[in-house]
Amino acid sequence: MERVKRLLIVVLVIGISIVSGAAQDRARVPRPAQPRIPPLAPSEMTDAHRSALRRFYRGEETGNIFRTCVRNVELCRAWQPFADHLVAATNSVPAREREMLILRTSWLCGADYDWSHHVAAGKNAGLSQDEVLRIARGPDASGWTAFDAAVLRAADELHQDQHITDATWAALRGRYTESQLMDAIFTVGQYTLVSMFLNSAGVQLEPGYSGLPK
């Protein structure tokens, strides 16, 4: 009986190792080097496309993410108000912490595009260059305040388990209102969703953007 128990433990450990290894392999899968869904040229956009993009339409300067999104104009039209809320002042999470959540989620999802575009936004919100790079090292990197670490840990926990632990929730609840907690969760969810789109559709960086730090 004892031998059977040991055998079961070995099988369980091997199974966990296989699953863990598969998860790591998936995380290392190279992203498409060319668009799988080509972005729409600004000259091809109709009034319907421009209307769907709202304030994100910027003529020739419209980002590849939005030029790709309008390939499904009704989806894009429905998504834009939600996306707009989460990057605007209507998001009740303070801008610096919001950008920490976005950058950490982009890092966890391996999304070069969103990471690159939010580095500048993070700096404008008060993050230093050192802090931006430290976000890639996660909540346990030295130098974070206890609250900053809790913000990053919330992103990690939502990414890994779709759930914020009691300890992290309590740390956030010490400063955040219910509305802020909800905005924080939806911010991580939004940028996880966007990362899935960017990575799978092969949305390419515009010239001048360098992607995730190596």
Q: What is the DSSP string of 35-91?
A: -SSPPPPGGG--HHHHHHHGGG--GGG--HHHHHHGGGHHHHHHHHHHHHHHHSTTS
Residue 13 pLDDT > 90: no
**CATH class assigned to 92-196:** mainly alpha
- 58: which DSSP letter? -
Residue 31 pLDDT > 70: yes
CA–CA separation, 172 and 177 (whole Å): 9
CA–CA separation, 75 and 89 (whole Å): 24
Q: Are 139 and 149 in contact (CB under 8 A)?
A: yes
How do the domains of the chain map onto residue ranges?
42-86, 92-196
Across all residues in the chain, what is the average pLDDT? 88
CA–CA separation, 31 and 203 (whole Å): 9
Indicate the pTM of the whole model.
0.85
Question: pLDDT band at 8, cuts 50/70/90?
Answer: very low
Q: Closest Cα partner for 106 from 53, 144, 159, 60?
A: 159
Cα separation values, 80 from 66, 75, 194, 209, Å: 10, 9, 12, 23
Question: pLDDT band at 30, cuts 50/70/90?
Answer: confident
Residues near 197 by Cβ (< 8 Å), separated by ≥ 6? 65, 69, 203
pLDDT digit string (tens) for 129-177? 999 999 999 999 999 999 999 999 999 999 999 999 999 999 999 999 9
Top-confidence residue, 113 or 54: 113
pLDDT digit string (tens) for 69-82? 999 999 999 999 99
- In the chain, count of helices (H) and strands (E)? 10, 0
Q: Is the dihedral of CA 181, 188, 90, 112 positive or negative?
A: positive
Determine the pLDDT at residue 130.
Answer: 97
Determine the pLDDT at residue 12.
Answer: 38
